[in-house]
Chains A and B, each alone.
Chain A
Amino acid sequence: MKIRQLSVFLENRPGRLAALCQTLSESGVNLSTLTLAETGEFGLLRLVTPEPDKAKQVLVAAGYAVTTTEVVALQVPDRPGGLASVLAALEPKGISVEYMYAFSMRAGGDAVMVFRFDDMDRAIEALQAAGVNVFRPVDLFGG
């Protein structure tokens, strides 16, 4: 159920993000989605790719500081209250969202979003019990 996200440290300077994308593209690593969180001086680039091991290896070899985190991709109904309906399954359990961002594909007219919860296992359990579609890596990236 869980998919692996890579987080990469980037300084907030012109060309740093482009250089990283160039490194990945030269190795033929495809990016499924990414998001950049930033302060004034540095940023954390979080990215999801079908080949996290290869991507990490390529980035570490190119001198980047990288860490791997487990996240989940959820199907979120694309209508008012859609996200609220997903989060409603978690609130009674006291599970909170650390961060979330959109996935670059859609599923049957619904949005796909990437979530990191403070308790991943209990979150998945609660979401599935509430009927939320938790994507498997194969659903997202194919076999």
Chain B
Amino acid sequence: MIRNLWNDLNGTFFPESALDYMPVERLREVQLQRLRAVTSLAYERVPLFRERMDARGAKPADVQKLEDVRLLPFSTKADLRDTYPYGLFAAPMSEVVRLHASSGTTGKPIVVGYTAQDMEVWKQVIMRTLYCAGYGRGDIVQNMFGYGLFTGGLGLHGGLESIGATVIPISGGNSERQIMVMKDFGVTAVCSTPSYFIHLVEIAGKLGIDFRRDLKVKRGVFGAEPWTDEMRRYIESATGIKAYDIYGLSEIIGPGVAAECACQDGLHIFEDHFLMEIVDTTTLEPVPDGQEGELVITTLSKQAMPVIRYRTRDITSISTARCACGRSIRRIQRISRRSDDMFIIRGVNVFPSQIETALLKTEASLPHYQIVLTRKSGLDQMEVRVEVTGEMMSDRMSKMEELQRRFARSIEQITGLHTEVTLVQPGTIPRSEGKAKRLLDKRNEGN
């Protein structure tokens, strides 16, 4: 069957999504035009970018082809903190119509701004994200991302309204009420962090609510934290919904940077707005397509706060094959770990996501945990502290000890490292902004 390239797999045409199917040559032309424009804008308006480019002897006019992006300096989250709050803004405040801030786990938050045009672009990429996941008019959508300074809630909200869906701006929290609303309001689609949704699935179970029998939810977009294929399989098998991965970060725009389509095989980056590179985390040189590295993004259309070669710290690779959905914009693999979370113990690279995968093999929902690294007589030791929940509890000591052994075995299978697992009381692992601090490296504290 010959399919019109501009329609999605079901043959539906969404004007906003047409850009996902742009001929590749034309897409690269658009990217180059925009890269040149954003480089000039950043050079002229943002002292930090001008100083860094001058230091490298790079001028905006040097950008003649897309690969010339490599002449430009990198930027990082530290740059946003150092120039807090508005130091990277390229537009006067009179043009900035929206501010968001991310919860820094340490110190000051970072602040991001949007002009009216940026808001329009944001809305468009969210619409494209939602169309990728099959959302549309008639959907009743429970948006459980936080509303407020966090980009998740309001970011998705704008796109949801624009596709004609009915939005329930409920934010996160109050799990029993979430389930009640899901049932009573006839919710057909959800937006959530994967870990919170897994928590809700369990609460629903306890309330005697069966997703397939009692609810109408058919699909969900999940993001704002790295997650794993195990988590997706759990969500889909426990509820019968389709779970789509979405990707974004406040520094770039918020949600709407990349999204999974019906094929659920990697996330399409909206390349007409975001130029991606994958670089080696140590040499910062580009890696070949298909090879893993750190995702680096240059915003191609942002006016209020353009960022050049932003190091996302997210580890992924570019999929080279054309997606079966027909979109020409390229895909990245699911991001399940971050380069800054990686640690090396006894010569082995370990990511907290591997520990999460191991814990999830034993428990249906991810318990709060903390990895503690110490050094005994020159040897690195890894301890994983796991907060005991009511679900894990048994009245029998042997069962509790068995649980401890299962965790340790599962971690050893995945990382190859022997680990001491310690069960701790709920609430004893320090949290910041509700997130547990995952890694405590005490190896260089002196013994």
A: residues with CB less than 8 A from B are: 5, 7, 9-11, 16, 37, 39, 41-42, 44, 46, 60, 63-67, 69, 98-99, 116
Contact = CB atoms under 8 A, between A and B. Distances in A.
Contact of B397 (A10, A37, A65): A37
Interface in B409-447: 422-428
Given A9-B423, A41-B422, A65 B392 contact: yes
B401 interface: yes
Contacts of B395: 5, 7, 44, 46, 67, 69, 99, 116
B393 interface: yes
Nearest to B392: A65
A9 B397 contact: no
Contacts of A67: 390, 393-395
A63 B426 contact: yes
Interface of B: 387-390, 392-397, 400-401, 422-428
**Helix, strand, loop or mixed for chain B's interface?**
loop
Contacts of B397: 37, 39, 44
Contacts, number: 54
Contacts of B401: 39
A99 B395 CA distance: 10
Main secondary structure of the interface of A (DSSP, over half): strand
Tell which of B387, B390, B425 has the most Cβ of chain A within 10 Å.
B425
CB-based closest 8 A-B pairs: A67-B393, A7-B395, A69-B395, A63-B427, A65-B388, A9-B388, A37-B397, A65-B393
A91 B413 CA distance: 41
Contacts of B427: 63
Contact of B393 (A9, A37, A41, A98): A9
Most buried by B among A9, A42, A64, A116: A9
A114 B397 CA distance: 17
A9 B392 CA distance: 10
A65 B426 contact: yes
A65 B400 contact: no
15 contacts: A5-B395, A7-B393, A9-B393, A9-B423, A9-B426, A11-B428, A42-B423, A44-B400, A64-B426, A65-B387, A65-B393, A66-B390, A67-B394, A67-B395, A99-B395
Contacts of B389: 65
Contacts of B387: 65
Contacts of A63: 425-427
Given A42-B424, A44-B396, 11 more contacts: A9-B425, A10-B425, A11-B424, A11-B425, A44-B397, A63-B426, A65-B387, A65-B388, A65-B426, A66-B393, A99-B396
A116 B427 CA distance: 30
A11 B396 CA distance: 15
A41 B388 CA distance: 13
Contacts of A11: 424-425, 428
Pick the most buried of B392, B396, B422, B424: most chain A CB atoms within 10 A of its CB: B396
Residue among A10, A42, A66, A98 with most chain B CB within 10 A: A42
